[in-house]
């Protein structure tokens, strides 16, 4: 059995959980049809979403859904979720336990691997073979790959975002099983006591934009985005940024393009001052045309782009804005 | 008074080109230099703030090669009081080994009279990216853990940690002692002062050896993603390229 921890949002599995199921299905086929079980933790926000979710997970290759219920899951606690995974694993006899390489997925499976004293591979992108079971995972922020042996059982790993494409396989709706795991008081000491307002997802316009103008560390600071934002507006497009920009708090997270942000596929992507680390490339690789602006002609983004301009974004972008304005007036 | 232990790792600077060692077991940082990852710099910053606010102290620990003394001195200069280096070959260590050695330091110092109410680590190492050392350490110490905290505060023996959850901001509140892994972004790391640098030079770093044979990282080998042949067309240099860029935008049908 392969047990997949599935995260949900608004009554559906998250995209990265469906991508994880795509890898699980490939693993299942390689192993001659190993059954896939999904684990959900906690009550659904809308109990009416259950049938739809059973159909969705079934279509993505899940035969059985196990839902962990109980007061322990009213608010999030990583150790309590791990207790649920641990008990579901034992009940299903799973030899593989996997989850999305999301903050929750990495956290819960790290708890599980510590509890079971087995190894865990984070951010797996593929597997090399089953005997021995060797996976390939991203290290150094995706700039390098590591082949890692998972000899212990269960084999525990998380799946890097955007490394697989979620696709339906046409399975029947999954059967639904509820259970109430035992959760020790110690597993509930570190639990969420308050949540902020759910942020409105502003990333829709970015994901569907025909033109995206990107900016990275080269912007230099929170004040370095005026010209790229203006260019995006002139082209009727959206502004997208690299992870370092959101990590430093220069721009909001919903503008991030990359493995931990949005995946974009515009007609034209104009990355400015973005070196093009794998993390970022994972989110923009399906752009039809890329016009990169960077001071370093050897930056990965410059060599992978369709067109390139060597120069400082703080000089090139305002000059382009001025040129476009001049032509339009 | 909160005595805090912060774990920092010497990692190759991966902002530039990444090269591998000849045996493909590690990243070769000889040409790009070494640093401490951003998550850990934020952890050091948070620790100093908490220690200042509670009249406590900050001790650093690193598990790594002798050269990691450089990273320890760099962080000491920010205002930490002590540092420990468990000298070991990092390519032979897995996350379970690192957690074990840090737990041993916590226990040894507790036996000698210093109890760390709070242990801070980075959320994940910039090189190996295992996402496990903080959690494995929490189990070894029998303490609760919060992961991915961007802000951490301590008041009256209670810890409050703020994280960015999948559905918005999340707050944890729990009694000390605890373990917290930190994500960069919440606390801008300070720069070292000249006085801090001078003081750091005088601090005697406690040297320790690993207490057991490592179980290792189960690594077969590292590789670099295959280089794609470049077919890029350079259309200009500097602001003078603007007309050529504007022409291209028209040709691609995204501008008039």
Query: What is the pLDDT, as a whole number, of residue A177?
Result: 97
For B79-109, how does the pLDDT look when each residue is reduced to its tens digit (9 = 90+)? 999 999 999 999 999 999 999 999 999 999 9
> At residue A201, does pLDDT exceed 80?
no
pLDDT category of residue B116 using cuts at 50, 70 and 90 = very high
Question: B95 near B130, Cβ under 8 Å?
Answer: yes
**pLDDT at residue A216 in the model:** 94
Q: Region A199-226: what's the mean pLDDT?
A: 87
pLDDT higher than 90, residue B17: no
Measured in angstroms, the CA of B223 and the nearest CA of chain A are apart by: 5
C-beta atoms of A114 and B218 within 8 A: no
Q: Kindly state the percentage of chain A with pLDDT values over 70.
A: 98
Interface of B with A in 2-61 (CB under 8 A): 12, 14-15, 18, 20, 27, 38
| Nearest CB neighbour to A189, from listed B144, B238, B241 | B144
Tokens of B174: 């729990």
State the count of interchain CB pairs (< 8 A) between A and B: 231
The b-or-e profile of B157-194 (16+ CB within 10 A means b, else e) is eebbbbbbbebebbbbbbebbbbbbbbbbbbebeebee
**How do residues A51-74 score in pLDDT, each as one tens digit?**
999 999 999 999 999 999 999 999
B138, B221, B240: residue with CB nearest A147: B221
Residue A198 binned pLDDT confidence (cut-offs 50, 70, 90): low
Higher per-residue pLDDT: A145 or A282: A145
pLDDT at A56: 97
Which of B124, B220, B253 is facing A147, going by the closest CB pair? Answer: B220
pLDDT single digits (tens) A28-41:
999 999 999 999 99
Q: Looking at chain B, which residue has its C-alpha nearest residue A145?
A: B223
Q: Which residues of A touch B141 (CB under 8 A)?
A: none
The answer to whether residue B214 neighbours chain A at the CB level (below 8 Å) is no
Q: Taking CA atoms, what residue in A is nearest to B29?
A: A140
Mean pLDDT, residues B138-154 taken together: 97
Per-residue pLDDT band for A199 (boundaries 50, 70, 90) equals: low
Give the E-state strand segments of chain A in sequence order: 2-5, 8-9, 12-13, 36-41, 64-68, 96-100, 120-130, 133-139, 144-149, 155-159, 175-179, 192-195, 211-215, 238-241, 268-272, 289-294, 307-310
Percent of chain B with pLDDT over 70: 98
Greater confidence (B50 vs A9) lies with B50
- CB-nearest to B147 from A78, A275, A324 is A78
pLDDT of A7 above 80: yes
**CA-nearest residue of chain A to B147?**
A107
What is the pLDDT averaged over residues B159-188? 91
Q: Summarize pLDDT for A112-156 with one digit per residue, the tens.
A: 999 999 999 999 999 999 999 999 999 988 889 999 999 999 999
**For B189, which residue in chain A has the nearest alpha carbon?**
A248
Q: Name the pLDDT band for B186 (thresholds 50, 70, 90).
A: confident
Contact A310 B147 (CB under 8 A): no
Kindly state whether A132 is in contact with chain B, defined as any CB-CB distance less than 8 angstroms: no
**Is a pLDDT exceeding 70 seen at residue B212?**
yes
Mean pLDDT rounded to a whole number for chain A: 93
Mark which residues 36-55 of A lie under 8 Å from B by CB. Answer: none
Chain A residues whose CB is inside 8 A of the B158 CB are none
State residue B256's pLDDT score.
81
Could B136 and A110 be called an inter-chain contact, meaning their C-beta atoms sit closer than 8 Å?
yes
- pLDDT at B15 > cutoff 80: no
Q: Do B228 and A303 touch (CB under 8 A)?
A: yes
Nearest CA-CA partner of B82 in B170, B174, B207: B207
Closest by Cβ to B225, choosing from A278, A316, A319:
A278
Q: What pLDDT was estimated at residue A200?
A: 60
CB B85 within 8 A of CB B55: no
pLDDT mean over B208-217: 97
Q: Compute the half-sphere exposure of residue B208: CA atoms within 13 Å on the CB side of its CA.
A: 19
Measured between beta carbons, the chain B residues lying within 8 angstroms of A106 are 124, 131
Give the C-alpha distances (Å, rounded to integers) separating B37 from A132, B43, B128.
33, 10, 11
Residue B188, pLDDT score: 83
d(CA A138, CA A121): 9
Mutation target to probe the B interface, by most B beta carbons within 10 A, among A76, A253, A309, A313 is A309
Measured N-to-C along each axis, helices B242-251 and A313-328 cross at an angle, to the nearest 10 degrees, of 60
Whether residue A184 lies within 8 A of chain B, CB to CB, comes out as no
């Amino acid at each position: 059995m392969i047990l997949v921890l599935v995260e949900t949002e608004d009554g559906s599995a998250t995209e990265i959980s469906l991508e994880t199921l795509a890898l699980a299905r490939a693993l299942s086929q390689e192993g001659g049809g190993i059954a896939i079980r999904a684990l959900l933790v906690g009550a659904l926000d809308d109990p009416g979403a259950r049938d739809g979710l059973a159909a969705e997970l079934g279509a993505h290759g899940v035969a059985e859904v196990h839902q962990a219920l109980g007061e322990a899951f009213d608010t999030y606690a990583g150790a309590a979720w791990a207790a649920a995974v641990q008990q579901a694993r034992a009940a299903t006899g799973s030899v593989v336990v996997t989850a999305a390489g999301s903050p929750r997925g990495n956290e819960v499976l790290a708890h599980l691997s510590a509890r079971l004293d087995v190894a865990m591979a984070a951010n797996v992108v593929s597997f090399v073979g089953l005997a021995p079971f060797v996976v390939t995972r991203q290290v150094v922020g995706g700039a390098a790959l590591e082949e890692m042996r998972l000899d212990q059982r269960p084999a525990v790993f998380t799946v890097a975002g955007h490394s697989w494409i979620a696709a339906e396989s046409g399975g029947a709706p999954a059967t639904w099983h509820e259970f109430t795991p035992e959760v020790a008081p110690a597993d509930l000491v570190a639990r969420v006591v308050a949540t902020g307002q759910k942020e409105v997802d502003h990333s829709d316009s970015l994901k569907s934009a025909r033109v995206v103008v990107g900016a990275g560390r080269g912007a230099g600071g929170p004040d370095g985005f005026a010209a790229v934002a203006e260019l995006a507006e002139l082209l009727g497009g959206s502004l997208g940024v690299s992870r370092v920009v959101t990590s430093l708090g220069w721009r909001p997270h919903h503008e991030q393009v990359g493995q931990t942000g949005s995946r974009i596929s515009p007609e034209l992507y104009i990355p400015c001052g973005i070196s093009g680390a794998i993390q970022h490339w994972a989110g923009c690789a399906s752009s039809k045309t890329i016009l990169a602006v960077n001071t370093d002609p050897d930056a990965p983004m410059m060599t992978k782009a369709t067109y390139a301009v060597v120069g400082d974004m703080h000089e090139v972008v305002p000059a382009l804005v001025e040129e476009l304005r001049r032509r339009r007036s | 008074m909160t005595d805090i232990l912060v774990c920092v790792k010497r990692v190759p600077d991966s902002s530039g080109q990444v090269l591998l060692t000849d045996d493909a077991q590690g990243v070769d940082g000889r040409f790009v230099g070494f640093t401490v990852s951003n998550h850990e710099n934020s952890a050091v910053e948070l620790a100093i703030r908490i220690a200042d606010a509670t009249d406590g102290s900050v001790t650093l620990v690193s598990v790594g090669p002798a050269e990691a003394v450089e990273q320890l001195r760099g962080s000491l200069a920010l205002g930490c009081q002590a540092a420990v280096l468990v000298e070991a070959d990092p390519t032979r260590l897995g996350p379970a080994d690192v957690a074990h050695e840090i737990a041993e330091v916590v226990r040894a110092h507790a036996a000698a009279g210093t109890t760390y109410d709070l242990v801070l680590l980075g959320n994940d190492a910039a090189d190996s990216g295992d996402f496990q050392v903080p959690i494995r350490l929490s189990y070894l110490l029998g303490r609760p853990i919060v992961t991915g905290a961007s802000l951490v505060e301590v008041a009256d023996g209670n810890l409050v940690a703020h994280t960015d959850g999948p559905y918005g901001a999340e707050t944890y509140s729990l009694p000390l002692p605890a373990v917290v892994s930190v994500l960069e972004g919440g606390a801008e790391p300070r720069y070292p002062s000249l006085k801090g640098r001078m003081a750091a030079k005088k601090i005697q770093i406690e040297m320790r050896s690993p207490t057991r044979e490592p179980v290792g990282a189960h690594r077969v080998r590292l590789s670099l993603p295959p280089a794609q042949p470049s077919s890029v067309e350079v259309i200009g240099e500097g602001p003078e390229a603007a007309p050529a860029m504007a022409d291209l935008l028209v040709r691609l049908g995204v501008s008039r």
